[in-house]
Amino acid sequence: MDTNVSISSEQLKVAIQPDLEQFIHEATHAVNTAPGGRVIAASEGPVREAAARFRKAVYEKAIELRTQAAQAAFPPSGR
């Protein structure tokens, strides 16, 4: 991969928007459905798992975008 190729934070922001919305939905659902008096205990695990999925998706999309940028910058073979 060309090490001079980079992506912008705006590109990543656009690419992860659906994942961000899903994470927010999962986090609010976990907190809102937790029983009173047990909000932290009942929601911490599901929110942590949702955050892990979101973190993975962000990293994968960043790598994918950079790979695509590098491929686009690579000159055609001339065949």
pLDDT per position in the chain (79 positions), as tens? 556 899 999 999 999 999 999 999 999 999 999 999 999 999 999 999 999 999 999 999 999 999 999 999 887 776 5
pLDDT at 76: 73
Residue 67 CB contacts under 8 Å (≥ 6 apart), including other chains: 1
**Which residue's entry shows tokens 């932290």?**
40
Considering just the CA atoms, what is the radius of gyration of the chain in Å? 18
Distance CA 31, CA 38 (A): 10
Distance CA 66, CA 18 (A): 19
Nearest to 5 by CA among 76, 73, 77, 64: 73
| pTM of the entire predicted model | 0.84
Query: Residue 5: in which H helix or E strand, if any?
Result: none
pLDDT at 51: 99
Distance CA 23, CA 53 (A): 8
